[in-house]
A and B are shown apart, each in its own frame.
Chain A
Amino acid sequence: MRLPPQQGERLNRDRQFPFLFDGKPVHAFDGDTVASALFASGRRVFSRSFKYHRPRGLLCCSGHCPNCLLQIDGVPSVRACMEPAREGAVVKAQNVLGSLDRDLMSVVDKVGGPFLPVGFYYRTMMRPRRAWPIYERFLRSAAGLGRIDKHGRRTHRFDTEHRRAEVLVIGGGASGIAAAQEAADAGRQVVLVDDGLGEAAHIASAPFEVLSPARAIGIYEGGLVAVAAGSVLYRFRAERIVVATGTIEQPLLFPGNDLVGVMLSGGARRLIEQWSLRPGERAVVLATGGETIADDLRRAGTDVARVFEIGDQAPEEIVARGRKGRVSSVAIDGEKVECDLLVMSGGRQPAYSLLSQAGAKIEYDAGRGIFVPRGLPAGVEAAGSVTGERGQVVQPAPAYSGKGKCFVCICEDVTRKDVKRALAEGFDSIELAKRYTAVTMGPCQGRLCHLPSIRLFAGETGMGLGALGTTTARPPWAPVSLGLLAGRGHEPARRTSIHHRHEELGARMMWTGDWRRVHSYGDPAAEVRAVHEAVGVIDVSTLGKLLVSGPDAVPFLERLYPNRFADLRVGRVRYGVLGTDAGRIMDDGTIGRLAEEEFYVTTTSTGAGVVLEWFRWWNAVWGFDVEVVNLTGALAAVNVAGPHARELLGRLTTLDCSVEAFTYLDAKRAHVAGVPCLLLRIGFVGELGYELHFPSSYGEYLWDTLLDRGADLGTRPFGLEAQRILRLEKQHLIVGQDTDSESNTLDANMAWLVKFDKDDFVGKWALEHMQERGARERLVGFEMDDGVVPLEGGQVVVDGRPAGRVTSARWSELLGKAIGLAWVPPDLAEEGSRLEIRVDGGLEQASVRLRAFHDPEGARQRS
């Protein structure tokens, strides 16, 4: 039943519509929230509590407490008191077995109390261990809030928007509006964030922007303020932040303080004023300024049976009793009064959390009995009652005695007895006790339990509140959905300029670092055959490409790499392995000398970023006259490999590609099909090969031309899978695949490139020690006796004990063998040594092979 229209009513009584609650229609007026419409329909139980499944009713009506959490249109844990009613909405109860009024799990409240003290899950249900999954499933279904659909899909669109404001005011009450007005009058650009409870949303025309309903969910480092406004998360940067979040009315702690019908005075007032609802028929008021509240109730037609001024009358014992979870009477110091509404107020605590997050100090004001913000950081101001300098002084008892469950935290169902038990167990620090009892960690995030719990702690321990201090305030200050935080589901991926051609050719793509690369075009074995017998082309644009130039380019590279580069002639290419200070392998690639003072360095696909930073960092340290330019994205690269590669290239360029003119490890420049290219004669896949580097904008053109002009030669594209087989046939390692953070150049059989006679290079000292110490393990090739391909990462077993690991393994059709690379003890690093490798739980026999499986002399790639 609605009251006649009240002053401040937010209803449009001309428009009424239905929505469904647990399958039954409920009528709402335009302007109703889901909660107010349900209350008007006669509903009093809105939720069941977290642990004990006790019935809970409206308490604050301002989005603070957990008592009205419902599932609305599939979204769990929506605060019904803040959610506007919508026509056709589907509203359901959550965390119940049965219905809100008859929840079978409420048996926990009757019999479970002694067995489920705070932290019971830390001490019980340990044995038998195998039963834990059963316990866990039970606990998960018995406790908690709403449920999410594990198989659900993204149903809402959430966006993120970056905003700037000269002045950002948080809070749409009188103080917030005044602060916004003052700043706007001073000519500042102002945005005011209003949660919908204040008056700001109803200002017809303001000289500032109003975001409503919107909630600041946190103030982060650098003054970033995150504001949730419907489906948009605003990330505000403001020159000045004014926090005017006001105060939060606090509950009283007494047995039965969670019964349906026990309300905060602000909640009762909002029901009357905004939605014209009578909160109850017969009320008892326990509050400071209780007569004012009582007058409001009387105007709404509620019979006020008794008013107790908290603070003045200082009762010692308050006990609320109920029937079926609804308050029916309250006994105050033995005086019992029948009622169906108990309006309480334990004073108001400044809502300082955002200020605390911004860096303000929070201190206890002993005179007022509240925590107040002090020492605000530059650019952050507090306005209005959040400063703690206004309002009534109320210092209720930490808890009123009496028999029955007295709830300190209604979110997590933590009782006074639980807090006492935690203290008895030694959790006497407020931060530890918070984590153990979970007080302040529920949906209200301490809004209604922070101050009362600290008062209770202080009362029980005898410590002063000032000494006890407060717990850390962290975002989110307001509830926010994970979808809003996640935003849109975009994943930054790097794609080569030939990427779309690969897709058109039916390639299966895979991630390598943040690049999308081709795994294969459907038949890796055929791709390998093409490279061995005809021509294969592979997109290697993902290789890191750095141009190192300047008068000090030679000493710079000499000190970075263990190799020598001073003797590298212009027009020649050399393989290089980059090491860390500790002599570990970091990356590898080729270094081509383009001119006396200009080098073209390639890196692995995933190592480019690290190598670039490594180069720049050392250059800053050494102060060389060197410039390093990252060309990774600017240039595409294609490797053309196979016995007919020279013939194909000859069709596209006037460059003399004969073996005499363009020898192995030469670098040349030429136009290929009209495109300027840097050509490197190198051979990762073990066949005659040319790596073409050219402007990426010509990627598709040159790729198409290579395939088109090479069609009669059997040219076909190949992917990473084929490349992995091909390089394994040559025993070429892949950094990161065959090496890890402990692998060094010497143990990886590349001692030949380490020039200890150089004055210095990164990692020299470490490598010298490793050389002196001797190898601890060796990277070797192996072939399996019976053709079984072991898993990469599989164990190498010696005398029944793990002694090494497989890093790569593939089946080679060319060799008719399963081959691979493995780290083994040094004494096994001899040709023909026998190994055992664990495969599917059993041991398979293998032999060590130290030379390349295919073309060990390298004649094919030099041809």
Chain B
Amino acid sequence: MSGLEFEFLDPSSARAENGFEPVQRSPLERALRDAPPGVRDISLQVPDDLDKGLAGLQVTGERLLRRLTDLNLDALPATGTVAHVRATVLRDGDEFRIFFPQEYADHVAEVVLDAAAGLA
């Protein structure tokens, strides 16, 4: 068996070689450049998920979450729709971590920042 197994494509197996220095970039990096203090990018800290395709966002404030999702915030963690996108939400007091497919990063950031502006 020649072994092209998929684990090879783990981001952590990138390496600096032959003058190349691979750089990872968070999908939320641009969108959250000027985010208010309660909204933080944690994409590159996402635990090793199965498909390695999640972006992560940490937000503060239950009211903000209520404008983003119909999930029961007293029964987290749970998976449901956040900012029109399927996501998993974890809670630690008034802090919420939202994980969602990275290709929706710009969209989710746009909705989160807009909702935060509506509450400001």
Chain A residues near B (Cβ < 8 Å): 157, 159-164, 235, 237, 488, 490-497, 499-500, 515, 547, 549, 570-571, 592, 594-596, 598, 600, 629-635, 652, 654, 667-669, 671, 673-678, 693-702, 705
Tell me the B residues contacting A by CB distance below 8 Å: 1-6, 8-11, 13-18, 20-27, 30, 44, 50-53, 63, 66-67, 69-74, 83-85, 101-107, 110-111, 114-115, 118
Cα of A674 to Cα of B83 in the assembled complex, Å: 35
- Whether A494 lies near B104 (C-beta < 8 A) is yes
Residues of chain B lying within 8 A (CB to CB) of residue A497: 25, 27, 102-103
Q: With both chains docked as a complex, state the minimum distance between the C-beta of A804 and any C-beta of chain B, in angstroms.
A: 38
Cβ–Cβ contact A696 & B102, under 8 A: yes
Alpha-carbon gap, A849 to B50, bound state (A): 47
Are A698 and B22 touching (Cβ within 8 A)?
Answer: yes
Which chain A residues border B84 with CB–CB below 8 Å? 490, 492
- Inter-chain contact A697/B24, CB cutoff 8 Å: yes
Decide if A675 touches B14 in the complex (CB within 8 Å). Answer: yes
Partner of A674, one of B9, B17, B71: B17
- Would B2 and A571 count as touching, CB distance under 8 A? yes
Contact A159 B44 (CB under 8 A): no
Contact (Cβ within 8 A) A697 B66? no
A500 touches B4 (CB 8 A): no
Cα distance, A699 to B1, chains bound together (Å): 30
A221 to chain B, nearest CB (A): 13
Task: Collect the chain B residues with CB atoms within 8 Å of residue A157's CB.
Answer: 118
Residue pair A595, B53 in contact (C-beta under 8 Å)? no
Tell me the interface secondary structure of chain B in the complex.
loop
A633 interface neighbour in B18, B26, B103, B111, Cβ under 8 Å: B103
Q: Which residues on A sit within 8 Å (CB–CB) of B72?
A: 164, 237
Decide yes or no: A674 and B69 within 8 Å by CB, A490-B107, A696-B102, A697-B26 being known contacts: no
A-B pairs with beta carbons under 8 A, tally:
161
Are A495 and B106 in contact, with the CB atoms below 8 A? yes
Q: Given contacts A493-B106, A499-B106, list 7 more A-B pairs with CB under 8 A.
A: A490-B111, A497-B102, A549-B6, A594-B6, A598-B6, A697-B44, A705-B20
Q: Do A696 and B53 form a contact, CB below 8 Å, given A488-B114, A571-B2?
A: yes
Which single residue of chain B is at the shortest CB-CB distance from A700? Answer: B25
> Which residue from chain A places its CB closest to the CB of B22 in the assembled complex?
A674
Shortest C-beta distance, B76 to chain A (Å), equals 13
Residues of B within 8 A of A697 (CB): 11, 24-27, 44, 102
- Rounded to whole Å, the gap between the CB of A165 and the closest CB of chain B is 12
Given known contacts A669-B4, A674-B22, A163 and B103 CB-to-CB distance under 8 angstroms: no
Contact between A674 and B44 (Cβ–Cβ < 8 Å)?
no
- B20 touching A673, Cβ below 8 Å: yes
B107 adjacent to A701 (CB under 8 Å): no
Q: Is A675 a contact partner of B22 (Cβ separation < 8 A)?
A: yes
Task: Please indicate the chain A residues that have their CB under 8 angstroms from the CB of B104 in the complex.
Answer: 492-495
> Does A671 contact B17, Cβ atoms closer than 8 Å?
yes
Residues of B near A693 (CB, < 8 A) are: 9
Contact A492 B85 (CB under 8 A): yes
* Interface pair B1/A595, CB less than 8 Å apart: yes
In the complex, 16 of the A-B residue pairs with CB atoms within 8 angstroms, ordered by the A residue number, are A162-B66, A488-B111, A494-B107, A595-B4, A633-B53, A673-B22, A674-B15, A674-B18, A676-B13, A693-B9, A695-B11, A696-B53, A696-B102, A697-B11, A698-B14, A700-B25
Q: Are B67 and A674 in contact (CB under 8 A)?
A: no
Query: What chain A residues lie within 8 Å of B118 (beta carbons)?
Result: 157, 159, 488
> With A488-B114, A671-B17, A701-B23 given, is the CB distance from A600 to B103 under 8 Å?
no
Residue in B9, B15, B115 whose CB lies within 8 Å of A694? B9
| Docked pose: A600 CA to B7 CA in angstroms | 12
A652-B20 contact, Cβ under 8 Å, with A490-B111, A594-B5: yes
Shortest Cβ distance from A652 into B: residue: B20
With beta carbons under 8 angstroms apart, the residue of A515, A678, A700 that contacts B9 is: A678
- A161 is contacted by which of B27, B67, B103, B110 (Cβ under 8 Å)? B67
Of A635, A668, A671, which one neighbours B53 at CB under 8 angstroms? Answer: A635
A846 to B91, CA, bound (A): 65
Cβ–Cβ < 8 Å partners of A163 in chain B? 66
